[in-house]
Amino acid sequence: MPRKRIVIVGGVAAGPAAAAEARRADPSSEIILVEKGSDISYSACEMPIYIAGDLNGVDQLVRFDAASFAGRFDVMVRLQTEVERIDPDTRHLEVRDASTGTRERIWYDALVLATGMRAHVPAALQAASHHVLTLRSLEDARVFRGRLDRDPTGHAVVVGAGYVGLDGVDALSRAGWRVTLLASSGRIMASGLDLSMSDHVVQWLTGSGVAVRPERATGLDVSPDGRIKAVRTDAGERIGCDMVLVATGTRPNDELARDAGISCRDEGGIVVTDTLQTSVPSIWACGDVAAFTDVITGTVFSVPLALNAFRSGRVAGRNAARGGRGRPRRMPRVVHAAAVSVGNLEIAHTGWSFDEARRAGLDVVAADVRHRSASSNAPNRPLHVRLVVEKKSRKLVGGQLVGQEGAAQRINTLTALIRTGATIEDVYALDYVYTPRLAPAHDPLFVAARQIQKILDGS
């Protein structure tokens, strides 16, 4: 009797996590990991550190190469192999070897889709120029770093002010490049930060020499030899530059699933149950391509974050391998929490911003405070805090922190509170550490919680 065959499509974080967990769940199964690129498992979030020149080489980002992963987990790894079609009726994949062009069919008993996301480049910014870059894959990082090695200085335009855009600004600035950031809405991290918090970031960036312009890129001027000459904007400007990083968002790679008749969201992303099973019983999905459920509202949304990729990969891998044995693993609901740093400025948010919460139909109130990271009699830095609370239930639904010390780690506290359904009274009642060199007597979260209480109580 042939062994059960589990095929996993996609590498980076979710795919390898699924393969490793499937092996733990079923030591006797045959597991095949298919990846269309040349890299199987690497730390994508650390790519800006490599680009900035702070690592000895790109190998420091690689968690496993194909040989080491195959040897450790007894998995057949197929690199440079693209899945072109899924046939759910016969449980076959049609794949093509990118190096030879050879096509073949691979059968499966269970299939896990971990196809991730791709960088979205608007049509107006698509150009056959080696000076117009994106930053999504390890190969993108290699190209980016190679560009900086050839030209140690220059002027770069970063289009987009989300996580990737800010990572690009940080890497380029550290590498010695002059940077212009185009934030089309005039906001930084617009989906996570409200305007008051975004303004703190803009002020810091401007003070650090980054030109922040509230303009939308409408086109590129490229010379016949492929060099970038300028970025055109909706303000009628032509910004001369030597490099462009397009960081205008991502899109789930869900085309394979859609073509196979698997249910997907109109906004993008594969629809899954809490066991990460798709609408086809023998197929699971995990990582950035899957859509998860929000803790606060119960809505389904895409959450392209590393921890969710690892966690969901393990859930999908075990459930694909378990074959009905034991209880299925379930994916918990998600709190959208993220942080990024530019220079020594930390920017963090969790849950819903005030603006996004209102758009989602929540009746919320918000308050901002400026406090400090440590005692006034010890070295300290300003720390800006914004809390968002639902009026009727008084539950915490979001938080934002910006500062040069203490922002990123404090956001973890707020994330844990949101997950447990904590109220603003719970935030206020926390037993915060007080040690003068590390934290003030009244923690910034404590001060912000008291401010929200005053607003809710009408005092």
CATH number for the domain spanning 416: value is: 3.50.50.60
Residues 6+ apart with CB under 8 A from 252: 115, 116, 117, 264, 268, 269, 270, 288, 289, 302
Q: Are 402 and 200 in contact (CB under 8 A)?
A: yes
Number of domains within the chain: 3
What pLDDT does residue 2 have?
74
Asked if 405 and 389 sit in the same domain, the reply is: yes
Asked if 162 and 207 sit in the same domain, the reply is: yes
Asked if 170 and 217 sit in the same domain, the reply is: yes
What pLDDT does residue 337 have?
95
What pLDDT does residue 269 have?
97
What pLDDT does residue 128 have?
84
What pLDDT does residue 356 have?
96
Asked if 296 and 380 sit in the same domain, the reply is: no
What pLDDT does residue 325 have?
79
> Quick check: is 50 in a domain?
no
Taking alpha carbons only, the member of 30, 29, 5, 33 closest to residue 19 is 33
Asked if 242 and 262 sit in the same domain, the reply is: no
> Quick check: is 220 in a domain?
yes
Last residue of a domain, one of 322, 351, 375: 322
Asked if 361 and 449 sit in the same domain, the reply is: yes
What pLDDT does residue 314 have?
98
Taking alpha carbons only, the member of 194, 246, 205, 213 closest to residue 388 is 194
Asked if 67 and 134 sit in the same domain, the reply is: no
pLDDT digits (tens, 9 = 90+) for 217-247: 999 999 999 999 999 999 999 999 999 999 9
Last residue of a domain, one of 322, 348, 367: 322
What pLDDT does residue 1 have?
55
Asked if 388 and 436 sit in the same domain, the reply is: yes
Asked if 315 and 288 sit in the same domain, the reply is: yes
> Quick check: is 92 in a domain?
yes
Asked if 241 and 260 sit in the same domain, the reply is: no
> Quick check: is 332 in a domain?
no
| Residue with tokens 């969790």, as numbered in its chain | 350
Last residue of a domain, one of 220, 248, 276: 248
> Quick check: is 84 in a domain?
yes
Asked if 112 and 189 sit in the same domain, the reply is: no
What are the backbone dihedrals phi and psi of residue 446, each rounded to the nearest 5 degrees, phi first? Answer: -60, -45
Asked if 203 and 132 sit in the same domain, the reply is: yes
For residue 179, count other CB atoms closer than 10 A to its CB.
Answer: 25
Per-residue pLDDT of the chain (459 residues; tens, 9 = 90+): 578 999 999 999 999 999 999 999 999 999 999 999 999 999 999 999 999 999 989 999 999 999 999 999 999 999 999 999 999 999 999 999 998 999 999 999 999 999 999 999 999 999 989 999 999 999 999 999 999 999 989 999 999 999 999 999 999 999 999 999 999 999 999 999 999 999 999 999 999 999 999 999 999 999 999 999 999 999 999 999 999 999 999 999 999 999 999 999 999 999 999 999 999 999 999 999 999 999 999 999 888 888 899 999 999 999 999 977 778 999 999 999 999 999 999 999 999 999 999 999 999 999 999 999 989 888 889 999 999 999 999 999 999 999 999 998 999 999 999 999 999 999 999 999 999 998 999 999 999 999 999 999 997
> Quick check: is 317 in a domain?
yes
| Residue with tokens 């009628």, as numbered in its chain | 236
> Quick check: is 69 in a domain?
yes
> Quick check: is 15 in a domain?
yes
Domain extent, residue 277, equals 5-41+62-117+251-322
